[in-house]
């Protein structure tokens, strides 16, 4: 057996009944990397790659036979799919099992960046839901913003807060997802540097941090609300021991999630309370190391005053927007500086409550600017699933699409008509241009353009 894996970790894993340490070491020595994507059901119905195999626990997930150049795929930039590790997609199966799929739930993704689990939650909870995606690290919160902006839904609020901030929303969320910061042993195959950084001391540090994050956020769950706890660690201190700590300190019950033997997922239980968790090992399935467990809150959780707050007044050209937004009367619109945003009317009171206690980076979709005379559409609106279907659009081939994504000059002969126009690739919007008599103004955002390869 290879000696490149930390001995302390392998020793502890060997103490687990039936653990195959030779197969575990071999799969890391081989270094094979599994590439998987999850489709955006609001934009993409078919897998845009040949030879893909279905991820068994996620009906939108697919394994790819290799790793294509996603950078050179316009559908990737349009938010048609998310490149996500297959093991993490198990949350889709969890949501269906506990009855939250398309349930119109309020959900909090507490440690959300870069956005894999948030985009999954948004897809499975449905358009009638409200998702709060939080990231405490500012730079990572910006990445989260970009990924959710491409995904295209307006029923998302992105926040940049410490977990303790959510104590001020007791009894509010139906679902709390905590993909906790961890020692990262489950990512050894993808990130060799993580092997050098791993230590028992770091495992202990992460375990303490995980307890703090949980302790400061659990009040935000309603009575009978669900906690989904996950890590990319193999260490019991960060997984089963956390479940025992939760059941010892708080009034939760462990929820069993049915799995099929063919999936290769290992059902595990904690030592003290027998709480059920699920371990994913790369030598047993097509995915990286992962741990997940589901708990239901049993305690009677008081909540905060739900009195209606007076909405902020803003001069918004609602009539002007009816030609830009599908079912535009289903949304509320508000200004921040000169930027215009849309947000579901259903959750307008909720947005006011959230604003009282959280730092919000973005609520809903940034749809553009209002100059007082003219509406200037944003890139987020182009990516939105709510953009009006009758707006002028031009389908382009791959060569022109990549020229556009590089923010290069475009040939007027490739575009018809005049004025604002959506650029489409394979019938999917990738951004805006303005068609003028002698030139095309390319409005793809400079900060996300493809650099020449």
* CATH code of 423's domain: 3.10.450.720
In a domain, 400, yes or no: yes
In a domain, 440, yes or no: yes
In a domain, 220, yes or no: no
User: Rounded distance, CA 144 to CA 360, Å?
Assistant: 13
pLDDT band of 190, cuts 50, 70, 90: confident
Position 337 scores a pLDDT of: 78
Position 2 scores a pLDDT of: 45
In a domain, 256, yes or no: no
> What sign for the dihedral angle of Cα 182, 277, 192, 199?
positive
Given a cut of 70, is residue 312 above it in pLDDT?
A: no
For residues 214 and 453, the model is more confident at: 214
For the segment 331-360, the average pLDDT, to the nearest whole number, is 93
User: Rounded distance, CA 290 to CA 167, Å?
Assistant: 28
Chain position carrying tokens 């970790």: 9
Of 58, 80, 232, 421, the catalytic one is 232
3-class secondary-structure state, position 29: helix
344 is in an annotated binding site: no
Position 33 scores a pLDDT of: 86
Q: Which residues contact 172 (CB under 8 A, 6 or more apart)?
A: 106, 220, 222, 303, 304, 353
Given a cut of 70, is residue 453 above it in pLDDT?
A: no
CA nearest to 119, candidates 87, 90, 84, 93: 84
Given a cut of 60, is residue 120 above it in pLDDT?
A: yes
179 is in an annotated binding site: yes
Position 314 scores a pLDDT of: 62
For the segment 102-115, the average pLDDT, to the nearest whole number, is 97
206 is catalytic: no
Residue-wise pLDDT tens digits, 402-423: 999 999 999 999 999 999 999 9
User: Rounded distance, CA 11 to CA 14, Å?
Assistant: 5
In a domain, 443, yes or no: yes
Q: Look up residue 381 and give its two tokens.
A: 């609106």
User: Rounded distance, CA 64 to CA 50, Å?
Assistant: 8
pLDDT band of 373, cuts 50, 70, 90: confident
275 is in an annotated binding site: no
Report how many helices (DSSP H) and strands (DSSP E) the chain contains, helices first: 13, 22
User: Rounded distance, CA 236 to CA 266, Å?
Assistant: 14
Judged on CB neighbours under 10 Å (0-12, 13-18, 19+), 371 is exposed
For the segment 119-134, the average pLDDT, to the nearest whole number, is 97
Quote the percentage of the chain above a pLDDT of 90: 90
Rounded to 10°, the helix 90-98/116-125 angle is 30
Candidate from 65-69, 168-172, 373-377 with smallest mean pLDDT: 373-377
43 is in an annotated binding site: no
C-alpha of 116 from chain center: 3
User: Rounded distance, CA 394 to CA 375, Å?
Assistant: 20
Residue-wise pLDDT tens digits, 17-61: 999 999 999 999 997 889 999 999 999 999 999 999 999 999 999
Given a cut of 90, is residue 201 above it in pLDDT?
A: yes
The boundaries of the domain holding residue 402 are: 392-453
Position 1 scores a pLDDT of: 37
Measured in degrees and rounded to the nearest 5, phi and psi for residue 245 equal: -60, -45
Q: What radius of gyration, in Å, describes the C-alpha atoms of the chain? A: 23
Measured in degrees and rounded to the nearest 5, phi and psi for residue 327 equal: 50, 50
Position 313 scores a pLDDT of: 64
For the segment 92-113, the average pLDDT, to the nearest whole number, is 97
Position 119 scores a pLDDT of: 98
CA nearest to 181, candidates 236, 245, 110: 110
Position 307 scores a pLDDT of: 81
Given a cut of 80, is residue 227 above it in pLDDT?
A: yes
Q: Which residues contact 303 (CB under 8 A, 6 or more apart)?
A: 170, 171, 172, 222
In a domain, 449, yes or no: yes
For the segment 246-262, the average pLDDT, to the nearest whole number, is 98
User: Rounded distance, CA 188 to CA 13, Å?
Assistant: 15
User: Taking the model in full, what pTM does it have?
Assistant: 0.96
Listed as own residue / partner, the contacts of 94-102 with beta carbons closer than 8 Å and 24 or more positions apart are: 94/228, 94/257, 94/292, 94/294, 95/121, 95/124, 95/125, 96/124, 97/257, 97/258, 98/226, 98/255, 98/294, 100/124, 100/125, 100/174, 100/175, 100/226, 101/125, 101/126, 102/126, 102/128
How many separate domains does the chain show?
Answer: 1
Under DSSP, the state recorded for 308 is P
112 is in an annotated binding site: yes
How far CA 50 is from CA of 54, 81, 207, 402, in Å, comes to 12, 15, 42, 21
User: Rounded distance, CA 391 to CA 167, Å?
Assistant: 44
In a domain, 230, yes or no: no
117 is in an annotated binding site: yes
401 is in an annotated binding site: no
In a domain, 183, yes or no: no
238 is in an annotated binding site: no
113 is in an annotated binding site: yes
Question: DSSP characters for 348-417?
Answer: HHHHHHHHHHS-EEEESEEEEEE-SS-EEE-HHHHH-TTB-TTS-EEE--HHHHHHHHTT----GGG--S
């Amino acid at each position: 057996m290879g000696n490149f894996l930390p001995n302390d970790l392998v020793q502890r894993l060997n103490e687990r009944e039936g653990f195959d340490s030779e197969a575990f070491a071999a799969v890391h020595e081989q270094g094979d990397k599994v590439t998987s994507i999850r489709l955006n059901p609001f934009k993409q119905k078919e897998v845009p790659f040949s030879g893909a195999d279905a991820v068994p626990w996620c009906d939108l997930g697919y394994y790819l036979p290799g790793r294509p150049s996603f950078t050179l795929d316009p559908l990737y930039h349009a938010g048609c799919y998310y490149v996500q590790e297959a093991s993490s997609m198990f949350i889709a199966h969890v949501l269906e099992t506990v009855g939250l799929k398309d349930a119109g739930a309020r959900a909090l993704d507490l440690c959300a960046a870069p956005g894999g689990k948030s985009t999954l939650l948004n897809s499975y909870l449905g358009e009638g839901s409200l998702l709060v995606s939080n990231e405490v690290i500012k730079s990572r919160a910006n990445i989260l913003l970009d990924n959710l902006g491409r995904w295209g839904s307006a029923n998302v609020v992105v926040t940049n807060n410490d977990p303790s901030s959510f104590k001020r929303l007791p009894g509010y969320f139906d679902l709390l997802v905590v993909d906790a910061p961890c020692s990262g042993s489950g990512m050894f195959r993808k990130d060799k540097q993580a092997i050098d950084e791993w230590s028992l001391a770091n495992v202990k540090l992460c375990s303490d941090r995980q307890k703090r994050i949980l302790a400061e956020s659990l009040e935000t769950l309603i009575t009978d609300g669900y906690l989904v706890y996950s890590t990319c660690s193999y260490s019991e201190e960060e997984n089963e021991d956390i479940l025992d700590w939760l059941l010892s300190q708080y009034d939760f019950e462990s929820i069993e999630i049915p799995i099929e033997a063919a999936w290769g997922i290992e059902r595990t239980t904690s030592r003290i309370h027998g709480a059920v968790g699920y371990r994913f090992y790369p030598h047993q399935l097509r995915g990286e190391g992962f741990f997940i467990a589901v708990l239901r809150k049993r305690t009677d959780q008081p909540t905060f005053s739900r009195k209606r707050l007076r909405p902020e007044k803003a001069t918004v050209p609602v009539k002007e927007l009816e030609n830009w937004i599908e079912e535009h009367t289903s949304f509320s619109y508000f200004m921040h500086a000169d930027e215009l945003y849309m947000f579901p009317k259903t959750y307008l009171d909720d947005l006011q409550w959230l604003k009282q206690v959280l730092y919000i980076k973005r609520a809903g979709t940034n749809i553009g600017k209002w100059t007082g005379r003219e509406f200037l559409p944003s890139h987020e609106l182009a990516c939105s699933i709510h953009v009006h279907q009758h707006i002028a659009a031009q389908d382009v081939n791959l060569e022109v699409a990549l020229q556009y994504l590089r923010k290069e000059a475009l040939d007027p002969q490739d575009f018809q008509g005049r004025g604002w126009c959506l650029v489409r690739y394979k019938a999917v919007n990738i951004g805006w241009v303005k068609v003028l008599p002698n030139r095309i103004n390319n409005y793809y955002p400079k900060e996300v353009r493809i650099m020449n390869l």
